[in-house]
Amino acid sequence: MISEILAKYSQSGVFGRDSMIIAILGISFLGLIVWGHHMFMVGFDMITMGYFSAVTTIIAIPTGIKVFNWLSTIWSGCLFINTSILFVLAFLYMFTFGGVTGLVLANCIIDTLIHDTYFVVGHFHYVLSLGAVYSIYASFYCYFCYFIRVFSINESLGSLHFLLIFISSNITFLSMHSLGIMGLPRRIFDYPICYFRYQWFQSLGVLGIILSVYVFWVIV
């Protein structure tokens, strides 16, 4: 979806189409053999941990190819800015940032230190939750009017929706990385009082995300 929307609003084809296809196939294959990075704490021997750590790091190569192809598509075209493109650009930032923190977690030694902390929660929300949600929103703003001809996008409300969810989601999940480095574990409902400011800050971001969903429903 990201490739199609970028190609449409950049008024050019996807840069490096063949390398993009190869990168997708590479990710599909490597994705089948990196499952062990979820299990660094179960008692693997060092050789097995080193294998899964290396493969998890290698999968960043085809992923990086995709990101650079998307950026090159923007660079080589004439980008038309609207709500859909704003979500695509935000996706590129969130996906890349989440991928960088994924490389941190790919190191089995570092993962042992921050395993099952808020750092992990922040990482997979940047890559999966926010990446998927942003691409779905971008597709909605790009294609929904084609399915329902009487429907027209209010770009002002769409921009407000984008700003609310982008700022709020970063407030919520960026601070989780700091909490994870500080050692706050996930799946525990209570926490020391020294983390109160961070938790309050995250709660403020969650309220912003809820407000952005309300704005989206107003648009619909």
**pLDDT at residue 112 tops 60:** yes
Annotated domain spans of the chain = 2-219
Q: What is the DSSP string of 56-75?
A: HHHTHHHHHHHHHHHHHHHH
Which pLDDT score, from 0 to 100, does residue 167 have? 94
Report yes or no: 122 and 100 within 8 Å, Cβ to Cβ.
no
Helix/strand/coil percent split, the chain, to 5: 80, 0, 20
pLDDT band at 65 (very low <50, low <70, confident <90, very high): very high
37 secondary structure, DSSP code? G
CB atoms within 10 A of CB 57: 15
Helix axes 130-147, 2-10, angle to 10 degrees: 60
pLDDT band at 10 (very low <50, low <70, confident <90, very high): confident
pTM over 0.85: yes
Each residue's pLDDT tens digit, 125-165: 998 878 889 999 999 888 887 776 656 777 888 899 999 99
- Which superfamily does 2-219 belong to? Cytochrome c oxidase-like, subunit I domain (1.20.210.10)
Each residue's pLDDT tens digit, 97-109: 998 998 999 988 8
